[in-house]
A and B are shown apart, each in its own frame.
Chain A
Amino acid sequence: AQTVTQSQPEMSVQEAETVTLSCTYDTSENNYYLFWYKQPPSRQMILVIRQEAYKQQNATENRFSVNFQKAAKSFSLKISDSQLGDTAMYFCAFMKDDYKLSFGAGTTVTVRA
């Protein structure tokens, strides 16, 4: 079974600053997919960014970027120029070719004005 670990239950960041969320996973698979999801207080889960394991290049979506270290099984998320709307719970998730997302416990990010 795949496990996803998010070691930071809570993070706080000043508006316009940068915050990095950590995620590690355990798998014996060589090809898989990694995701970061955001769940704001309204509860609607939204995809932030995704990465295919066979791609070396780190994914970037506007202010969101990842640092994917396949050998270390690490997939961290960097939020640059943090905005108040970034306040949410962030989940790291793993999927192989079985259509099943395995989620980490989540990190609550609070952006301070």
Chain B
Amino acid sequence: KAGVTQTPRYLIKTRGQQVTLSCSPISGHRSVSWYQQTPGQGLQFLFEYFSETQRNKGNFPGRFSGRQFSNSRSEMNVSTLELGDSALYLCASSSGAPLNEQFFGPGTRLTVL
């Protein structure tokens, strides 16, 4: 079974631009979660989608948004990029129940200049 894939792996943007990151979950998984990892704030939950519905959202500004498609692939978008958005963005997929293992992708390293 193929693992969770994230594209692109690395991204460099400038302040004010917008960016879209993509996550393809493991086949059969209907839940996709997004996390931001930074040295200062650690791992922080962004949002979780299940069957195209957002079930939970973290404490991030509205510049951060996401969506999930009918094939369970998910995208997250960050508009009006700030220097502080530089981070590793991790995507995780699972079947959807709380105790079920979340399988993480390799992440997208976003650098904002």
Chain A residues with CB under 8 Å of chain B are 33, 37, 42-47, 50, 52, 91, 95-106
**Chain A at the B interface: SS class:** loop
Q: How far is the CA of A102 from the CA of B102 in the complex (A)?
A: 13
Q: In the complex, which residues of chain A have a beta carbon less than 8 angstroms from the beta carbon of B33?
A: 99-101
8 A Cβ contacts from B10-55 to A? 31, 33, 35, 42-45, 48, 50, 55
**Inter-chain contact A33/B104, CB cutoff 8 Å:** no
**Inter-chain contact B35/A101, CB cutoff 8 Å:** yes
Known: A44-B104, A44-B106, A45-B104. A99 touches B48 (CB 8 A): yes
**Inter-chain contact A97/B43, CB cutoff 8 Å:** no
Q: In the complex, which residues of chain A have a beta carbon less than 8 angstroms from the beta carbon of B81?
A: none
Known: A45-B90, A50-B101, A99-B50. A91 touches B55 (CB 8 A): no
**Inter-chain contact A105/B42, CB cutoff 8 Å:** yes
Q: In the complex, which residues of chain B have a beta carbon less than 8 angstroms from the beta carbon of A102?
A: 45
8 A Cβ contacts from B90-110 to A? 90, 92, 96, 98-99, 101-107
Q: In the complex, which residues of chain B have a beta carbon less than 8 angstroms from the beta carbon of A100?
A: 33, 45, 48, 56, 58
- Neighbour of B102 across the interface among A43, A47, A52, A105, CB < 8 A: A47
* Total number of residue pairs linking A and B with CB closer than 8 Å: 55
A/B interface sample: 30 pairs, CB < 8 A: A33-B98, A33-B99, A43-B88, A43-B107, A44-B104, A44-B105, A45-B92, A46-B104, A47-B101, A47-B102, A50-B99, A50-B101, A91-B43, A96-B98, A97-B98, A98-B55, A98-B56, A98-B98, A99-B98, A100-B45, A100-B48, A100-B58, A101-B33, A101-B43, A101-B45, A103-B43, A103-B44, A104-B42, A106-B42, A106-B43
Q: How far is the CA of A17 from the CA of B45 in the complex (A)?
A: 34
